[in-house]
Chain A
Amino acid sequence: MVILDDIRKSYILPGRVVEVLKGISLEIKKGEFLSIMGPSGSGKSTLLNLIGCLDRPTSGKYLLDGIDINTLSDNDLAEIRNKKIGFVFQNFNLIPRLSAVKNIVLPLLYSGIPSEERNKRAFELLQKVSLSHRANHLPSELSGGEQQRVSIARALINNPSLILADEPTGNLDSKTGHEIMDIFKSIHKEGASIIMVTHEKSISEHAERIITIKDGVCFSGCY
Chain B
Amino acid sequence: MQIVETINIAKDSLFVNKIRSALTMIGIIIGVGAVILLVSIGEGARREIYKELGELGSNILIVVPGKTSKEGGMHMGTSVVRKITYEEARFVEKRAKNIIHAVPVIVGTSWIKYKGKSRDTYIVGVTEPYFDIRNLKIEVGRGINASDVDSRQKVCVLGRTVKKEVIGDANPLGAVVSIGDAKYRVIGIMAPKGMALGFDIDDVVFIPTTSAMELFDTDRLFNITVKVRNAELIDEAKKEIKGVLIRRHANKEDFTILSQDEMIAVMGKILNIMTAVLAGIAAISLVVGGIGIMNIMLVSVKERTKEIGIRKAVGAKNRDILLQFLVESVILSVIGGLGGIVFGITLSVGLHYFFDFLPTHITWWSVVIAFLFSGMIGVFFGVYPARKAALYDPIVALRYE
List the interface of chain A (C-beta within 8 A of B). 49, 52, 54-55, 74-75, 78-79, 81-83, 87, 89, 93-95, 97-98, 106-107, 109-112, 154, 158
A78 touches B5 (CB 8 A): no
Query: Which residues of B approach A to under 8 Å, CB–CB?
Result: 1-2, 5, 9, 12-13, 16, 306-307, 309-320, 394-395, 398
Within 8 Å by CB of A54, from B2, B13, B311, B313, lies B313
Q: Show 5 residue pairs from A and B whose CB-CB distance is below 8 angstroms, ordered by the A residue.
A: A54-B398, A81-B314, A82-B314, A110-B315, A112-B1
A93 touching B313 by the CB < 8 A rule? yes
Q: Which residues of A contact B314 (CB under 8 A)?
A: 81-82, 87, 106-107, 110, 154
Task: Kindly state the separation between the CA atoms of A109 and B311 in the bound complex, as whole angstroms.
Answer: 10
B318 touching A75, Cβ below 8 Å: yes
Smallest beta-carbon distance A73→chain B, Å: 10
The minimal Cβ–Cβ distance linking B160 to chain A, given in whole angstroms, is 66
B394 touches A106 (CB 8 A): no
- Nearest residue (CB) in A for B15 is A97
Interface of B is mostly: helix
- In the A-B complex, list the 10 residue pairs whose CB atoms are closest, starting with the nearest: A82-B315, A107-B314, A110-B315, A78-B317, A97-B16, A81-B315, A54-B394, A93-B310, A75-B317, A110-B316
CB neighbours (8 Å) of B2 from chain A are: 112
A55 and B312 CA atoms in complex are apart in Å by 11
| Set of chain B residues within 8 Å of A154, measured between Cβ atoms | 314
Determine how close the nearest CB of chain B comes to the CB of A162; give it in whole angstroms: 13
Residues of B within 8 A of A52 (CB): 313
User: Other than the known A112-B2, A158-B315, what 17 A-B pairs have Cβ atoms closer than 8 Å?
Assistant: A54-B313, A75-B318, A78-B317, A81-B312, A87-B313, A93-B306, A93-B309, A94-B310, A95-B310, A97-B13, A97-B16, A106-B314, A107-B314, A109-B1, A109-B5, A110-B314, A110-B320
Instruction: Note all chain A residues with C-beta closer than 8 A to B311.
Output: 106, 110
A49 / chain B contacts, CB cutoff of 8 Å:
395
The chain B residue sitting closest to A102, CB to CB, is: B12
Q: How far is the CB of A157 from chain B (nearest CB, A)?
A: 9
Bound-state CA distance A95–B9 (Å) is 12
> Who on chain B is nearest to A95 by CB?
B307
Cβ–Cβ < 8 Å partners of A107 in chain B: 314-315
Once the chains bind, are B315 and A78 in contact (CB under 8 Å)?
yes
Q: A97–B9 Cα gap in the complex (Å)?
A: 11
Q: In the complex, A75→B318 CA distance in Å?
A: 7
CB-nearest residue of chain A relative to B307? A95
Shortest distance from the beta carbon of A101 to any chain B beta carbon, whole Å:
13
